[in-house]
């Protein structure tokens, strides 16, 4: 399998000028732990993640060193830390020159990038344009798919998958972090919804795509305020049978 077969499309992004507070709220509302940073020309310039908010002056978690240890830290390093702890915009805390991969990268290559560099996500580029992102969650869904003894996708399956994504993505009700896998015309939808009507709309959209023979619902409902979540009725039934 390759990156384009498991990646999340319609990636939630921020700009370098986005405020720290807005970026943090965007992560919370979309239930994600990191955001690609894209400039006005649409070029990926960095990644901001939850780890970038660990040492912040607002919550009193900035780095504290004893006076004698300060002598071993250069003024430039101290200046960088000050900016990171008190900066008000994303470009002041983001990781620059993020590691990326192409659409045809294998899952083995993606895992190697994540493990070697201890990161949780890899932006996927087509040329210099951001077209998706692969996270550890995407890889987990891929493992779950293989556990269902589903064969590798064919070229026709990839075309069906693209048509489903095009049918769902432009809509305001689209699931967050939508992931679509197709094997022999059998579709699996993964993602997050905050309204049950979005589930039905996504299923109908997939069912109406030519080449689809069956649609499986793995969309998780999440309450934005409490964080309470429910797995799809289909997954709840499978869990009950397994138990």
Residues 139/111, Cβ–Cβ less than 8 Å: yes
- 228 and 153 assigned to the same domain: yes
Same domain, 51 and 94: yes
Position 123 scores a pLDDT of: 95
Domain boundaries, position 64 = 20-123
Model confidence pLDDT, tens digit, residues 205-222? 999 999 999 999 999 998
11 located within any domain: no
**Domain boundary residue, one of 90, 123, 156:** 123
Residues 117 and 153 in one domain: no
Question: In Å, how far are 88, 145, 152, 229 from 142, measured between CA atoms?
Answer: 37, 5, 11, 21
Distance between CA atoms of residues 46 and 55, nearest Å? 19
Residue 106 shares a structural domain with residue 191: no
Distances, alpha carbon 44 to alpha carbons 4, 51, 109, 173, 227, in Å? 18, 19, 20, 26, 30
- 225 with 189, same domain: the answer is yes
Total number of domains in the chain: 2
CA gap 22, 17 in Å, rounded? 10
Residue 73 sits in a domain of what CATH number? 3.10.580.10
Alpha helices in 87-223 (DSSP H): 107-117, 136-147, 155-168, 196-207
6-64 pLDDT, tens digit per residue, is 888 888 999 999 999 999 999 888 888 899 999 988 899 999 988 888 877 677 776 67
């Amino acid at each position: 399998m390759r990156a384009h077969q498991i990646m999340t499309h319609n990636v939630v992004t921020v700009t370098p000028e986005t405020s720290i507070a807005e970026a943090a709220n965007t992560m919370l509302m979309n239930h994600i732990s990191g955001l690609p940073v894209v400039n006005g020309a649409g070029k990926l310039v960095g990644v901001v993640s939850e780890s970038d908010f660990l040492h912040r002056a607002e919550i009193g978690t900035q780095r504290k060193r004893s006076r004698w240890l300060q002598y071993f830290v250069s003024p430039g390093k101290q200046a960088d830390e000050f900016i990171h702890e008190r900066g008000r915009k994303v470009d002041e805390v983001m990781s620059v020159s993020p590691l990326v991969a192409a659409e045809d990268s294998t899952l083995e290559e993606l895992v190697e990038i994540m493990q070697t560099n201890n990161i949780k996500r890899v932006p996927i580029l087509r040329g210099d344009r951001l077209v998706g992102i692969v996270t550890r969650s995407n890889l987990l869904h891929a493992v779950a798919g293989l556990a269902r003894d589903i064969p590798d996708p064919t070229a026709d399956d990839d075309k069906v998958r693209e048509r489903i994504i095009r049918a769902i993505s432009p809509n305001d009700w689209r699931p967050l972090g939508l992931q679509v896998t197709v094997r022999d015309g059998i579709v699996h939808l993964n993602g997050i919804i905050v309204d049950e009507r979005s589930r039905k709309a996504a299923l109908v959209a997939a069912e109406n795509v030519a080449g689809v023979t069956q649609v499986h619902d793995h969309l998780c409902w999440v309450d934005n305020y409490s964080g309470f979540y429910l797995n799809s009725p289909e997954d709840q039934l499978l869990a009950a049978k397994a138990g």
